[in-house]
């Protein structure tokens, strides 16, 4: 195979390729053999169909196409390797006149992946707030521990009140042309009267009720509801209150403190100190994540990359397709109906999608350039470490997760990309300057100022 670049622009190149006549003839003969074994023609055994019969039955174009389907990918791989090209998309191929016994001439039109120009990483500075653990944070952590160990006890002798949980049987009905139609029935459903997402009218109906009583709530369904048969109508909710449960928070006793700390602490002072150390570590981890995000934002802001309009068009179409699928799956509605609900015109949506596409492409190109600058390579050890970390965080067995990843090629590629990105950002953080904002001494709590200076903040 011989090749030469016939034209080159900023983000595209045309390459002329000549396949030797003998190589093309071999590919055609291989196609004849393959096709002869795969089709049935009356009067001929599979694998023994003469070429002349195949040409009459299929046509020469089918035979040539089969040969080209193997020649073109090999030629493309060779071009990419020879000229060290990075393609943005699949190329277009122009096949010149085919004459057996003569070289086959192809011309590839290749769209190249644009290169991002990165700033000097050492010029990037990010600022984070120093971790400050306040008394209020410790108080809230203690209350969260109490909520996690809350006891739910049946109530007797009083009606329901805010914060209780009521166990109900309920039926929802709607009136239409045929009369009352039952929408849903359920038994032993627990409803938390203190939950912020409980419908106000349901909450109002269930407050101040005793076990054994009944309650009714009427809800007006919004006009744009996904179920057109109930949109704009009134739903009647009939409740039978079976029991009332009151949440009881545990006292901060020595027994409780020992229980929640695994016996390491026995009094409130020890608990507060332990929680302070834990919160400080959490804040430090949050700061590290914030610093990484800010460094990435700065890197994207200071990097330059000229993305071809055609590349943005393709990414925007891909995003739009994913939007349509997500809206249909989650909302059971069309994109047009969703846009109307969001008060967005088609033109505004198209503009927003292009902005998203451009942002996503720039981020991908900049991070790819960063990974190259860092010389990032993903080893089998990196993959093992990543699988172990994710399996631990998800409570999944390592071998099960590994097997799932190895069976799914796309998932495996995503894992490689994620590891490569993590290592590239690790390199970025080793180059940038991270500064702490000046601490406001007035905001430090009295409890924190009394803490020993050698306390482990993680």
Q: Where are the domains of the chain?
A: 2-111, 151-248, 266-441
The closest alpha carbon to 168, from 113, 232, 215, 134, belongs to 215
3-state SS of 376-391 is CCCCHHHHHHHHHHHH
Q: What is the pLDDT of residues 248-287, one digit of tens each?
A: 999 999 999 999 999 999 899 999 999 999 999 999 999 9
The predicted pLDDT at position 453 comes to 38
CA atoms of 132 and 440, how far apart (whole Å) = 10
Structure-token match 């492409």, residue found: 361
Q: Would you say the pTM of this structure is higher than 0.75?
A: no
Q: Which is it for strands 12-19 and 2-8: parallel, antiparallel or unpaired?
A: antiparallel
CATH T-level topology, domain 266-441: Trigger factor, domain 2 (1.10.3120)
**Which two tokens mark 22?**
């003998």
Q: 């590239």: which residue's tokens?
A: 424
Q: Given this model, what pLDDT does residue 97 score?
A: 84
Burial grade of 284 (CB within 10 A; 0-12, 13-18, 19 or more): middle
Helices (H), 102-216: 135-148, 200-206
**What is the pLDDT at residue 323?**
94
Give the per-residue pLDDT at 33.
87
Pairwise CA distance, residues 259 & 254, whole Å = 9
3 CB-contact burial (10 Å; exposed 0-12 / middle 13-18 / buried 19+): middle
Within 10 angstroms of residue 55's Cβ, the number of other Cβ atoms is 14
The fold for domain 2-111 equals: Alpha-Beta Plaits (3.30.70)
3-state helix, strand, coil in the chain (%, to 5): 50, 20, 30
Structural contact between residues 260 and 178, judged by C-beta atoms closer than 8 angstroms = no
Task: Please give the structure tokens belonging to residue 300.
Answer: 């994207």
Residues 311-322: tens digit of each pLDDT = 899 999 999 999
Q: Which of 137, 144, 166 is nearest to 249 (CA)?
A: 144
pLDDT tens digits for the chain (458 residues)? Answer: 998 888 888 788 899 999 999 999 999 989 888 888 888 888 787 778 888 888 888 888 999 999 999 999 999 999 999 988 888 888 889 998 888 889 999 999 998 889 899 999 999 999 998 889 999 999 999 999 999 999 989 998 899 999 999 999 999 998 877 778 888 999 999 999 999 999 999 999 999 999 999 999 998 888 777 677 788 888 999 999 999 999 999 999 999 999 999 999 989 999 999 999 999 999 999 999 999 999 999 999 999 999 988 889 999 999 999 999 999 998 888 899 899 989 999 999 999 999 999 999 999 999 999 999 999 999 999 999 999 999 999 889 999 999 999 999 889 989 998 999 999 999 999 999 999 887 554 444 444 444 433 344 43
Q: What residues does 88 pair with on adjacent strands?
A: none
Query: What is residue 440's predicted lDDT score, i.e. its pLDDT?
Result: 53
412 vs 402: CA distance, rounded Å = 9
Structural fold of domain 151-248: Chitinase A; domain 3 (3.10.50)
């Amino acid at each position: 195979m011989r090749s030469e670049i016939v034209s080159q622009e900023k983000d595209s190149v045309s390459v002329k390729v000549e396949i030797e006549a003998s190589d093309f003839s071999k590919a055609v003969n291989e196609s004849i053999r393959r096709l002869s074994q795969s089709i049935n023609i009356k009067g001929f055994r599979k694998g023994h169909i003469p070429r002349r019969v195949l040409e009459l039955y299929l046509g020469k174009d089918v035979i040539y196409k089969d040969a080209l389907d193997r020649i073109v990918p090999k030629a493309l791989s060779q071009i990419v390797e020879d000229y060290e090209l990075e393609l943005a998309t699949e190329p277009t191929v122009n096949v010149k006149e085919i004459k057996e016994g003569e070289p086959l001439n192809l011309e590839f039109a290749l769209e190249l992946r644009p290169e991002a120009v990165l700033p000097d990483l050492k010029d990037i500075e990010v600022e984070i707030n120093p971790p400050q653990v306040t008394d209020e944070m410790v108080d809230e952590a203690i209350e969260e521990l109490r909520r996690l160990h809350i006891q739910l006890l049946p109530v007797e002798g009083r009606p329901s009140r805010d914060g209780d949980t009521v166990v109900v049987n309920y039926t929802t009905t709607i009136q239409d042309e045929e009369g009352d139609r039952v929408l849903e029935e359920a038994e032993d459903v627990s409803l938390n009267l203190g939950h912020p997402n409980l419908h106000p009218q349901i909450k109002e109906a269930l407050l101040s009720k005793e076990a054994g009583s009944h309650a009714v709530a009427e809800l007006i369904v919004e006009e744009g509801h996904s179920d057109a048969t109930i949109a704009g109508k009134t739903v009647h909710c009939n409740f039978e209150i079976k029991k009332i449960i009151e949440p009881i928070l545990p006292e901060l006793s020595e027994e409780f403190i020992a229980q929640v700390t695994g016996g390491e602490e026995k009094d409130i002072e020890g608990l507060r100190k332990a929680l302070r150390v834990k919160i400080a570590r959490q804040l430090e981890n949050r700061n590290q994540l914030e610093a990484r995000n800010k460094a990435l934002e700065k890197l994207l802001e200071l990097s330059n990359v000229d993305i071809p309009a055609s590349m943005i068009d393709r990414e925007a179409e891909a995003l739009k397709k994913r939007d349509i699928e997500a809206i249909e799956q989650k909302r059971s509605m069309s994109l047009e109906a969703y846009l109307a609900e969001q008060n967005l015109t088609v033109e505004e949506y198209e503009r927003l999608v292009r902005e998203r596409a451009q942002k996503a492409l720039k981020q991908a190109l900049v991070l790819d350039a960063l990974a190259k600058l860092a010389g990032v390579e993903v080893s089998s050890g990196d993959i093992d470490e990543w699988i172990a970390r994710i399996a631990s965080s998800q409570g999944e067995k390592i071998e099960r997760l590994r097997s799932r990843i190895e069976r799914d090629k796309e998932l495996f590629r995503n894992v490689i990309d994620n590891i490569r990105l993590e290592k590239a950002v690790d390199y970025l953080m080793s180059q940038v300057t991270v500064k702490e904002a000046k601490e406001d001494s007035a905001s430090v709590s009295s409890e924190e100022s009394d803490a020993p200076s050698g306390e482990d903040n993680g």
